[in-house]
Amino acid sequence: MTLTQLVAEYGYLAVFVGAILEGETILILAGFAAHQGYLSFPLVVAIAMCGGTLGDQTFFFLGRRFGTALLRRFPQWQPGAQRVNRWLLNYHAGVIVGVRFMYGLRVVGPITIGMSEVPAWRFVLFNLIGAAIWAPLIAGAGFIFGQTLQWLFADIKRYEEAALLLIVGVALVLGLLRRLRRHP
């Protein structure tokens, strides 16, 4: 089974699971796959919105119930949690909408917001708005990447697996660098 067949067969599931967690790489790949015709762009966006909303809601309620214990269990989250708390003092709506765009705060952000006094209904509302902005924007970046490659290379089908591997490779290198930076 080729990489493109895997994307076509399991792409929507990967988008949903990836969007629950920190799913930017998966969503960019899905946008690229949609450009190539393996996935439907509107369906990718809808699934990413659902997964992203569900994930952040889950982390919010985990924060509401187990936030202090989670921060004790994962002390590396403390700096991010402190930043989110400072921002929450002045910018509730902006932080809730924007936390999914803040690298490294995708999980700890909703947990921290759940630990705060932000009402659940307010988080739900702004979380939906954030997901409605995030999903088409990130998937659109992958789609535009595919469009750019098609513009640069007339026979893009010949290079699509290399492009998918490039996206995955860049994501892995960035993740490794992030991990190495955290643990010198």
Per residue in 164-174, pLDDT tens?
Answer: 677 777 777 77
Q: Tell me, what's the pLDDT at 158? A: 64
Q: To 5 degrees, how large is the angle CA 33–CA 149–CA 22?
A: 45
Rounded CA-CA distance 45/168 in Å is 20
- With CA atoms as reference, report the closest residue to 135 among 97, 81, 166: 97
Q: To 5 degrees, how large is the angle CA 7–CA 108–CA 20?
A: 25
Q: What is the CA radius of gyration of the chain?
A: 18
Q: To 5 degrees, how large is the angle CA 95–CA 30–CA 21?
A: 40
- With CA atoms as reference, report the closest residue to 170 among 35, 33, 30, 28: 28
Residue 53: C-alpha distances to residues 20, 24, 135, 157 (Å):
7, 14, 10, 33
pLDDT tens for each residue of 54-81: 999 999 999 999 988 888 898 888 888 8
Residue 42: C-alpha distances to residues 9, 100, 139, 145 (Å):
17, 20, 10, 17
Rounded CA-CA distance 88/94 in Å is 9
Q: Tell me, what's the pLDDT at 2? A: 59
Q: Tell me, what's the pLDDT at 101? A: 86
% pLDDT > 90, the chain = 32
Q: To 5 degrees, how large is the angle CA 102–CA 143–CA 20?
A: 40
